[in-house]
Amino acid sequence: MKKIFVLMTVFALAAVAFVGCNGAPYEKRIFAAEENVAKVFIEARDRRLEIATGDYDFLTVECYENEKEYYIAEEKDGVFSLKLAYNKEWSDYIGAGGDRDKQVIRLYLPQTASLDVLSVSTTGRDIVLGNVSAGEISLNANNGDVSLGKVFVKKSLSAAAKNGNITGNVVGSYDVFQMNIAVKKGKSNLMSKSGGEKLLNISVNNGDINISFTA
């Protein structure tokens, strides 16, 4: 009887910890830049990142946060940065990972925006890039896919995925890109090549590469 009581106590404590981890509801948060920005840096964990153009005058970010997981946004001298921060104790990590539908960052750029730099990284989720234009683009997904939707780059596009695929479409002909392609435990429809006025750096570890080019 004593053993049963001990086991029941352990399970009860685990249940309390589980509820504690997921008990804080997410609330919608919107960050809007006050002026045009040239450089964007986003750093997150366990967040899906969706970046596209929208009907906004300035850069706008839509995300969800609570008292345990929140964002720090800064805008200064044409640079916008967003970083996920935590206020957790060890017991908050017990149980499920929270509401996945709310664990997303949506960044919208003005239709006419053309950034100098776009740098994005996340773990455990995907990066989805829409019809975005930038001088230099850097994408890094650890345990997630990278999806490109008619991305236009003026100088370079670097994308890396571990335990994930990199697929999609890049604006421009095949010949205008110098390519550095690295594949470990996967397949690629591209190979490294010299020549070209723009740079394409693509690497996957335990994933595939499938990128096409369009005028």
User: What percentage of the chain has pLDDT greater than the value 90?
Assistant: 77
Tokens of 202: 């693509």
Q: Is residue 118 predicted with pLDDT exceeding 90?
A: yes
pLDDT of residue 77: 96
Q: Is residue 21 predicted with pLDDT exceeding 60?
A: no
| C-alpha 200 chain-centroid distance | 19
Query: How many folded domains does the chain comprise?
Result: 1
Report whether 75 contacts 133 (CB < 8 A): no
Residue 152 neighbours by CB under 8 Å, 6+ apart: 131, 132, 133, 134, 170, 171, 172
Considering only 8-17, 61-70, 138-147, which range has the smallest mean pLDDT? 8-17
Q: Is residue 9 predicted with pLDDT exceeding 50?
A: no
Q: Is residue 200 predicted with pLDDT exceeding 70?
A: yes
Q: Is residue 91 predicted with pLDDT exceeding 90?
A: no
Considering only 7-16, 111-120, 147-156, 171-180, which range has the smallest mean pLDDT? 7-16
Q: Average pLDDT of 184-192?
A: 97
pLDDT of residue 23: 58
pLDDT of residue 112: 86
Q: Average pLDDT of 116-137?
A: 97
Which residue in this structure is represented by tokens 């995300």? 63
Burial 3-12 (b: 16+ CB within 10 A, else e): eeeeeeeeee
Range(s) of the domain holding residue 132: 2-214
